[in-house]
């Protein structure tokens, strides 16, 4: 009987809820939502439209619909596939260097010592500099004849250091190094914020139980900081997959195409080779890749949080 | 102000007074000089010109977009035919200048025949005059005289001598390369051109088909690779002009091949260690002689402009004999008019060996030879660049040339 009453009562409550729905919040966010759809949705749709067309800006001929021909061409485009592999390599190297280094710096600066605040201020300097300008500075510093890096190696007895930007095997790691020099501080800042928000109780309890510094890091700090690290990784992955600025400035994708990333290839195809449709296809694939990687990390973060 | 002779000829410079024009140009010493002449131009012709200066990369993107999407909004623009001629001609963006040059819209003393014939060819495409060349950009061999004298070496005049001289001047222990020129694939297409021509090769045949796997092209690739691997800087792979010229400027390279414009950087004692030692010579000759590339920027009229006649008056004003004398005095760039080139305005502003070199090179130079004159220039340059990178890595020149030919054919076939 009681069940019957509840069953009967439920639709009644639902009707009441529907009647009383307050639309004010929806109306308030509607302009922002519309702006988001316009700013983000429209370009994406237009990108999709362009990717199924053949379109040159030279002359007055209109875009010609070619279906999925651009996607088919992409599958056989060796330069694109190499750039994609290289971008993933770049991203993997970047993450492998940024995260441990950023976490290490954060742990160091989380300690109390006299020059801590000064070091924290200095830390953000590479981040605020313009990547293009910093790229040029690094090109000069790494020059094997005129650069200061060669001079510094000379001081420790190495007269002919490696050819950082000319050696096909070293060019990508060198670019990753410069990228890491610029962006590891951001990872460190995120980690410092994460460390500051950790509860003090587990650490005190561990100390009372006689846990060593390593044990405290391994069993308390690291697990509690994992969601923060996932956020840092997510931000870096998005940037690393789209990297173009320092590569364009420092090597232009060279020697040959040996340091060409997918985003740089995308720029060249669309803006330099005048293949707007094909460039849009490259951009769409890169967008899908970034979305996929971000999605995986969001899921990882949820799992870490649970 | 207009020269006296022009006024005396009775030419009506003010027939289009009141017109307003828009020019889109790139950053260049000449365009910067021309910008300072706009008030005088307005005073003398009554034509008001909006001079929009953009960096070259930006111009390459914005100009086609504007000409396509807003025809008629641009009246004149700055063009580099080696890059633009094929594409812009196919698009129908150039107004042929022939009928304007040979009409009463041209001042009697503007004197079209005063321009070097071989330089005028740079601005010719499909039998049409598409622009007015303003300067001459050749390539030359720059040498550090001090280094050559120290080893009792003479300026090389043939490719064989260039190889032996470059090797003799190389001193790895002192970090000195015998020669430096571009090693970045895409950029090196420019400096590779004279080597291709010296071996008897060419970019395209008469029908516009690529000729990149010929024995001449293979020999040129082989030579370029061997020269720079033996006597170039260790980091030659990927070197762009912005990294090559400082090596010569700072005495880390004994010889340098690139555009004649670089002389300014070497002669400036505030930034150069070789200001007193730099000498300029004609490019060494190969089996087919010596052939530099020659390119030239210049103003063109947009075919979509509704003010073509007024635009032509403005272009004439800025390229007249008097104007070119003034621009040469201000920029020191080699002028495209023979009368100015031979006058003290130019000869007193540059060293004697530079004048001698360019004078020898001009008649033999390949107009627009900086790259194949095709529509997709950047993509074709990239494909040629891959072959140059291959030989700089010591790979087989024949295989590199075959791959280059195949790829360029593929690009041109769309």
Mean pLDDT, 10 residues at a time, over chain B (414 residues)?
A: 52 94 95 95 96 92 92 96 95 95 93 93 96 95 97 97 98 94 94 98 95 98 98 92 91 96 89 94 98 96 97 96 94 92 92 94 94 95 96 97 96 89
- pLDDT at site B303: 97
C-alpha–C-alpha distance, residues A55 and A62, integer Å: 7
Residues B199, B218: contact at Cβ < 8 Å? no
Place of tokens 């001929």: A61
C-alpha–C-alpha distance, residues A43 and A284, integer Å: 11
Interface of A with B in 215-254 (CB under 8 A): 251-252, 254
Tell me which residue in B61, B184, B376 faces A271 most closely, judged by beta carbons: B61
C-alpha–C-alpha distance, residues B223 and B359, integer Å: 26
Q: In this complex, is the C-beta atom of B9 within 8 Å of any C-beta atom belonging to chain A? A: no
Identify any residues that bridge with B25 across adjacent strands, giving them in sequence order: B53
Q: Does residue B260 form part of some domain?
A: yes
Interchain proximity B68–A272, CB inside 8 Å: no
- pLDDT at site A117: 87
Q: Does residue B210 form part of some domain?
A: yes
Q: In this complex, is the C-beta atom of B64 within 8 Å of any C-beta atom belonging to chain A? A: yes
B117 in the same domain as B193: no
Angle, in degrees to the nearest 10, between helices A116-123 and A78-109: 160
Interchain proximity A146–B250, CB inside 8 Å: yes
B120 in the same domain as B144: no
Q: Is B296 helix (H, G, I), strand (E, B) or coil?
A: coil
Q: Does residue B266 form part of some domain?
A: yes
Phi/psi of residue B136, nearest 5 degrees: -125, 120
* Minimum CA–CA partner of B383 in chain A: A256
C-alpha–C-alpha distance, residues B72 and B60, integer Å: 18
Q: Into how many domains does chain A fold?
A: 1
Identify any residues that bridge with B253 across adjacent strands, giving them in sequence order: B177
Q: Does residue A3 form part of some domain?
A: no
Q: Does residue A191 form part of some domain?
A: yes
B170 in the same domain as B128: no
B194 in the same domain as B82: no
- pLDDT at site A1: 41
Q: Choose the mutation target among A57, A62, A249 for the interface with B, i.e. most B CBs under 10 Å.
A: A57
B276 in the same domain as B191: yes
- pLDDT at site A4: 44
Residues B53, B32: contact at Cβ < 8 Å? yes
Render A72-135 in DSSP notation, one character per residue.
HHHHT-HHHHHHHHHHHHHHHHHHHHHHHHHHHHHHHHTS--TTHHHHHHHHTHHHHS-HHHHH
Q: Into how many domains does chain B fold?
A: 2
B224 in the same domain as B131: no
Q: Choose the mutation target among B67, B176, B235, B381 for the interface with A, i.e. most A CBs under 10 Å.
A: B235
Tell me which residue in B68, B87, B389 faces A256 most closely, judged by beta carbons: B389
Q: Does residue B394 form part of some domain?
A: yes
Q: In this complex, is the C-beta atom of B62 within 8 Å of any C-beta atom belonging to chain A? A: no
Domain that holds residue B8: 4-136+295-366
Domain that holds residue A79: 49-305
Residues B49, B314: contact at Cβ < 8 Å? yes
pTM of the model: 0.85
Interchain proximity A256–B379, CB inside 8 Å: no
Q: Does residue B371 form part of some domain?
A: no
The residue ranges of chain A whose pLDDT is under 70 are: 1-19
Write out chain B residues lying below 8 Å of A70, CB-based: none
- pLDDT at site A20: 77
C-alpha–C-alpha distance, residues B8 and B83, integer Å: 39
Q: Choose the mutation target among A56, A254, A264, A270 for the interface with B, i.e. most B CBs under 10 Å.
A: A254
- pLDDT at site A19: 67
B144 in the same domain as B128: no
Phi/psi of residue B306, nearest 5 degrees: -95, 5
C-alpha–C-alpha distance, residues B122 and B98, integer Å: 15
B287 in the same domain as B186: yes
Identify any residues that bridge with B53 across adjacent strands, giving them in sequence order: B25
Q: Does residue B100 form part of some domain?
A: yes
Check which CATH number belongs to the domain holding B173 and give it.
Answer: 3.40.190.10
B261 in the same domain as B230: yes
Q: Does residue A248 form part of some domain?
A: yes
Q: What is the ipTM of this complex?
A: 0.81
Buried-state track B396-411, b at ≥16 Cβ within 10 A, e below 16: ebeebbbbbbebbeeb
- pLDDT at site B8: 44
Interface of A with B in 96-135 (CB under 8 A): none
Q: Does residue A8 form part of some domain?
A: no
Q: Does residue A63 form part of some domain?
A: yes
Residues B245, B181: contact at Cβ < 8 Å? no
- pLDDT at site A300: 83
């Amino acid at each position: 009987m009681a069940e019957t009453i509840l069953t009967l009562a439920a639709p009644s409550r639902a009707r009441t809820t529907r009647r009383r729905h307050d639309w004010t919040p929806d109306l308030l966010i509607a302009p922002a939502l519309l702006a988001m759809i316009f700013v983000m949705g429209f370009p994406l749709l237009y990108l999709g439209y362009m990717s199924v067309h053949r379109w040159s800006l030279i002359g007055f001929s209109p875009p010609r619909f070619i279906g999925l021909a651009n996607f088919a061409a992409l599958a056989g485009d060796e330069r694109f596939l190499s750039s994609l592999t290289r971008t993933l390599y770049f991203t993997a190297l970047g993450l492998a260097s940024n995260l441990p280094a950023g976490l290490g710096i954060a742990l160091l600066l989380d300690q109390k010592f006299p020059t801590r605040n000064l070091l924290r201020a200095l830390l953000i300097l590479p981040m605020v500099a313009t990547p293009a300008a910093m790229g040029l500075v690094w090109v000069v510093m790494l020059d094997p004849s005129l650069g200061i890096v060669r001079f510094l190696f000379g001081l420790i007895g190495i007269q002919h250091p490696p050819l950082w930007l000319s050696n096909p095997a070293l060019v990508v790691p060198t670019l990753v190094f410069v990228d890491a020099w610029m962006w590891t501080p951001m990872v460190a800042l995120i980690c410092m914020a994460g460390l500051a928000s950790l509860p003090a109780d587990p650490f005190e309890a561990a100390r009372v139980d006689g846990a060593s510094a390593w044990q405290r890091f391994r069993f308390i700090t690291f697990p509690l900081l994992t969601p923060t690290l996932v956020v840092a990784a997510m931000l870096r992955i998005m940037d690393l997959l789209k990297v173009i600025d320092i590569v364009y400035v420092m090597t232009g994708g060279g020697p040959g195409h040996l340091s060409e990333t997918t985003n740089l290839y995308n720029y060249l195809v669309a803006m330099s080779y005048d293949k707007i449709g094909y460039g849009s296809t490259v951009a769409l694939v890169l967008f899908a890749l970034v979305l996929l990687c971000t999605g995986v990390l969001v899921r990882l973060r949820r799992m870490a949080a649970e | 102000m207009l020269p006296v002779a022009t006024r005396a000829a009775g030419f009506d410079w003010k027939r289009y007074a009141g017109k307003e024009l828009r020019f889109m140009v790139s950053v260049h010493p000449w365009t910067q000089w021309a910008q300072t002449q706009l008030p005088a131009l307005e005073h003398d012709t009554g034509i008001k010109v909006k001079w929009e200066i953009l960096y070259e990369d930006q111009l390459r993107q914005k100009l086609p977009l504007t000409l396509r999407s807003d025809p008629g909004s641009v009246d004149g623009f700055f063009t580099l035919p080696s890059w633009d001629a094929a594409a812009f001609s196919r698009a129908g963006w150039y107004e042929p200048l022939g009928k304007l040059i040979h009409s009463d819209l041209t001042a009697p003393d503007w004197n079209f025949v005063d321009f070097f014939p071989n330089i005028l060819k740079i601005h010719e495409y499909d039998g049409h005059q598409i622009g007015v060349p303003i300067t001459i950009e050749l390539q030359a061999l720059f040498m550090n005289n001090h280094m050559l004298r120290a080893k009792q070496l003479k300026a090389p005049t043939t490719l064989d001598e260039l190889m032996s001289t470059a090797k003799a001047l190389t001193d790895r222990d002192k970090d000195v390369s015998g020669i430096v020129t571009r090693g970045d694939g895409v950029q090196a297409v420019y400096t590779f051109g004279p080597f291709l021509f010296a071996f008897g090769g060419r970019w395209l045949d008469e029908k516009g088909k690529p000729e990149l796997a010929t024995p001449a092209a293979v020999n040129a690739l082989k030579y370029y690779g061997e020269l720079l691997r033996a006597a170039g800087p260790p980091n030659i792979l990927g070197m762009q002009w912005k990294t090559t010229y400082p090596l010569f400027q700072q005495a880390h390279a004994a010889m340098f091949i690139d555009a004649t414009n670089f002389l300014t950087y070497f002669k400036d004692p505030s930034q150069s260690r070789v200001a007193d030692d730099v000498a300029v010579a004609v490019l060494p000759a190969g089996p087919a002689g010596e052939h530099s590339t020659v390119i030239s920027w210049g103003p063109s009229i947009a075919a979509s402009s509704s003010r073509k006649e007024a635009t032509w008056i403005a272009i004439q004003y800025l390229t007249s004999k008097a104007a070119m004398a003034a621009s040469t005095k201000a920029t020191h760039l080699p002028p495209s008019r023979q009368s100015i080139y031979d006058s003290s305005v130019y000869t007193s502003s540059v060293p004697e060996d530079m004048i001698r070199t360019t004078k020898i090179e001009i008649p033999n130079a390949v107009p627009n030879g900086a790259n194949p004159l095709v529509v997709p220039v950047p993509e074709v340059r990239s494909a040629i660049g891959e072959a140059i990178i291959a030989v700089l890595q010591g790979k087989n020149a024949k295989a590199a040339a075959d791959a280059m030919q195949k790829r360029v054919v593929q690009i041109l076939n769309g």
